[in-house]
Structure 1
Amino acid sequence: MLHKNFILPSYLCIMCNRLTNETRDHLFFECPFARACWSYLCSQVAPQSTIHANISSLRKELKVPFHLEITAMVTWSIRKTRNDCIFEEITPSLFRCKKIFNDELNLVFHRAKRQSYHTFKQWIDAFR
């Protein structure tokens, strides 16, 4: 992603190797890698025109009260997979992104207040 005062040799998406600038929307929703990550959760979700429309579409598809936690963890997993590729030279893979997602989601569960997340652990266990 292009940031102020942060110079990279290229601003093209390294995840899909297309001649596309790596914008927030591209990285998290339009890139074929990101779409594969989302299809792991919601096979019917297609990229929308805005970030808000993408989140709304995910909320409708997931149908759980903790959809924002899931959305945050998937975007974090995509970003971490990308950063590992750039900075650690680890080849990005859907398997790696899934593992990051599962590990991080379990950490969120353990930090959550149990009474407000009574179905969260069930969803995590059923999801694997």
Structure 2
Amino acid sequence: MHLHSYVCELCILQREESLHHLFINCNFAKSHWQTIGISYPSTLSRFRIIIRIKRNLQVPFYMEIIILMSWCIWKQRHGWLFNNNDPSVQEFLRNFKLEFSVE
């Protein structure tokens, strides 16, 4: 069985679509993390990036925020790839706030 690798469509880096790239290293993902005040050098390991996010957020539910951010990044990527929705940081932030709010 041959597995195909795909190139990230949403950044200029033309990197393979790995989980690490899609949710952390892609310029698209990094711009979304920056909307909630999170920035980090791409050279850090996943573990170090999570530690940095935890320190920056300073809330006990930091992991839930990481999961929710990843979900919202995923939804916006796929909205663009499959529905031709223009990705925007403003739309992402609106969706993140909606998902984060408790009804």
Q: TM-score range by the shorter chain?
A: 0.7 to 0.9
Task: Give the whole-Å Cα distance in 2 for the aligned partners of 1:90 and 1:78.
Answer: 13
Report the counterpart of residue 96 of structure 2 in structure 1.
101
SS in 2 for 1:70: helix
Aligned to 1:77: 72
What is the TM-score when the length of structure 1 is the normalising length? Answer: 0.70
Percent identity over the alignment is 27
Q: Residue in 1 aligned with 2:40?
A: 45
Looking at structure 2, the residues matched to 48 and 56 of structure 1 have their Cα atoms a distance apart, in angstroms, of 14
Where does structure 1 lack aligned partners over 5 or more consecutive residues? 111-128
Q: Does residue 32 of the first structure (1) align with residue 27 of the second (2)?
A: yes
CA contact (8 A) 1:38 1:45 kept: no
Higher RCO, Cα 8 Å, sep 6+? 2
| Unmatched segments (≥5 aa) in structure 2 | none
Q: Which residue of 2 aligns with 1:87?
A: 82
1:63 to 55, 58, 62: 58
The separation in 2 between residues aligned to 1:61 and 1:5, in whole angstroms, is 41
In the alignment, residue 54 of structure 2 is paired with which amino acid?
R
Distance 1:56 1:18, change over 3 A: same
* Structure 2 contact 69–96 (Cα < 8 Å) conserved: yes
Tell whether the 8 Å contact from 1:30 to 1:47 is kept in structure 2 after alignment: yes
Q: Which has the larger radius of gyration?
A: 1
Q: Alignment length, in residue pairs?
A: 103
Letter in 1 for 2:70: T
Any idea what SS the aligned residue of 1:41 has?
coil
Q: Out of 52-61 and 39-48, give the one that drifted further.
A: 39-48
Runs of 4+ more than 6 Å apart: 4-7
